[in-house]
């Protein structure tokens, strides 16, 4: 199999910061450079960092179809990977753009492109192809998907925002459209990662994670490589209400979410 990363496994003992366990307990969020934890719903930079170091090489192209505040593209710049990010909301894309431009280049020239667009739409896929063509590329080597966890955080009032899907079924349908839209841009043997958590609705656990996993597997063409479970640290607002949440959990027979998933697939 061709190499899909820049790790020199003759020196494998040197890479003890690369996670190989399925349980990811990550302490502090990386807040260095232009990484900030202030976009409600962003993921910690260690997630794209770990994925890119294991599953891409310098000069590869990473596609993030729910870019948010640009965490993935900042990591791309640091690690010498090219990045394309798609974000629906112009005001959020502008924040991402600002942060990415503030991040100084490492030792490798890369491109980082942001599209303000709806990832469910065919024309967005065409725009990605055009970017690739203009860079002399045909495919991407890693796709990262960090969708809204349905309506847990409402990112906007727009009907094309996945966090406004009227039901879980509609959310899954839209998510499936995004997967179908970009899957064949992924090079064979390369990886797709979905970062997502579950939710409660009407006192019932809704396994969004496993259902989105199934949406992907139903499409065929990919194998499931890993289900990673990552610790989730509460935001400040929730931390201040820790006792209240614990009380509610005890009364209602709930468990407080402390984990989210990273589903990892490889294209056949
Ligand atoms: C969970 S956040 C991603 C956060 C990102 N990983 C970060 O670190 O900032 C999901 C993002 O998807 C965007 N989004 C929702 N529906 C979308 C759509 N149809 N197309 C593209 N982006 C969408 C939201 O505006 C939101 O910024």
Query: Closest Cα to residue 182, out of 117, 130, 125?
Result: 125
Distance, CA of 4 to CA of 114 (rounded, Å): 24
- Judge whether 23 lies within some domain: no
Ligand 1 pocket, residue 182 CB under 6 Å: no
Q: Is residue 2 part of a domain?
A: no
Give 87 Cα–ligand 1 centroid separation in angstroms. Answer: 6
CA of 219 to the centre of ligand 1 (A): 22
Measure the CA dihedral 52/56/61/66, to 10°: -30
At 237, is the pLDDT very low, low, confident or very high (cuts 50, 70, 90)? low
What length is written for the chain? 268
How many whole angstroms from 196 Cα to the centroid of ligand 1? 12
Is the pLDDT at 159 greater than 90? The verdict is yes
Compute the distance between CA of residue 160 and CA of residue 53 in angstroms, rounded to an integer.
33
Q: What is the pLDDT of residues 58-95, one digit of tens each?
A: 999 999 999 999 999 999 999 999 999 999 999 999 99
CA gap 43, 68 in Å, rounded: 9
Q: What is the rounded average pLDDT of the residues 234-260?
A: 86
The finding on whether 71 has its CB within 6 A of some atom of ligand 1 is: yes
Q: What is the mean pLDDT of residues 224-251?
A: 87
Alpha helices in the chain (DSSP H): 46-55, 71-79, 90-102, 122-134, 168-182, 208-218, 236-240, 242-252
Cβ pair 69, 137 in contact under 8 A: no
Range 180-199 average pLDDT: 98
Determine the average pLDDT of the residues in 132-156: 97
32 — pLDDT class (breaks 50, 70, 90): confident
Residue 36 in tokens? 């900030």
Residue 12 lies in a domain: no
Is residue 30 in a domain? no
Q: Is residue 14 part of a domain?
A: no
Report yes or no on 21 lying in a domain: no
43, 195 contact by CB (below 8 A):
yes
Q: What is the pLDDT of residue 34?
A: 84
Q: Provide the pLDDT for residue 53.
A: 98
CATH of the domain at 205: 3.40.50.150
pTM, full prediction: 0.96
Within a domain: 183: yes
Name the pLDDT band for 109 (thresholds 50, 70, 90): confident
230 vs 222: CA distance, rounded Å: 22
| 193 has pLDDT over 90 | yes
- Please report whether residue 84 resides in a domain: yes
The parent domain of residue 170 ranges over 42-267
Which tokens hold the place of 216?
């992907």
Q: How many domains does the chain have?
A: 1
Q: Taking a C-beta distance cutoff of 8 angstroms, is the pair 195, 260 a contact?
A: yes
Percent of residues, the chain, with pLDDT higher than 90: 86
Q: In what order do the strands lie in the sheet with 82-87?
A: 23-24, 222-231, 259-267, 186-196, 140-145, 61-64, 82-87, 112-116
Question: How much is the mean pLDDT over the chain?
Answer: 94
Query: What per-residue confidence (pLDDT) applies to 36?
Result: 87
Q: Does 119 sit in the ligand 1 pocket, CB within 6 Å?
A: yes
């Amino acid at each position: 199999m061709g190499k899909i990363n820049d790790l020199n496994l003759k020196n494998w003992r040197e890479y003890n910061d690369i996670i190989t366990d399925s349980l990811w307990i990550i302490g502090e969020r990386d807040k260095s450079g232009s990484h900030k934890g202030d976009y409600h719903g962003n993921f910690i930079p260690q997630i794209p960092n770990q994925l890119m170091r294991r599953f891409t090489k310098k000069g590869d192209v990473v596609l993030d179809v729910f870019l948010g505040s640009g965490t993935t593209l900042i990591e791309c710049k640091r690690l010498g990977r090219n990045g394309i990010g798609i974000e629906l909301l112009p005001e959020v894309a502008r924040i991402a753009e600002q942060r990415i431009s503030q991040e100084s280049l490492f030792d490798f020239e890369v491109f980082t492109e942001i599209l303000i667009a709806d990832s469910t739409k065919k024309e967005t896929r065409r725009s990605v192809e055009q970017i690739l063509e203009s860079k002399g590329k045909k495919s991407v080597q890693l796709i990262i998907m960090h969708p809204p966890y349905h309506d847990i955080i409402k990112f906007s009032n727009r009907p094309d925002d996945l966090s406004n899907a009227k039901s879980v079924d509609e959310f899954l349908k839209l998510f499936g459209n995004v997967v179908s839209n970009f899957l064949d841009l992924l090079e064979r043997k390369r990886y797709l990662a979905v970062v997502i958590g579950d939710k409660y609705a009407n006192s019932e656990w809704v396994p969004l994670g496993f259902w989105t996993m199934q949406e992907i597997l139903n499409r065929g063409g990919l194998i499931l490589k890993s289900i990673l479970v990552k610790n989730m640290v509460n935001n400040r607002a929730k931390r201040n209400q820790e006792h209240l949440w614990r009380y509610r959990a005890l009364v209602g027979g709930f468990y407080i979410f402390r984990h989210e998933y990273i589903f990892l697939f490889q294209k056949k």
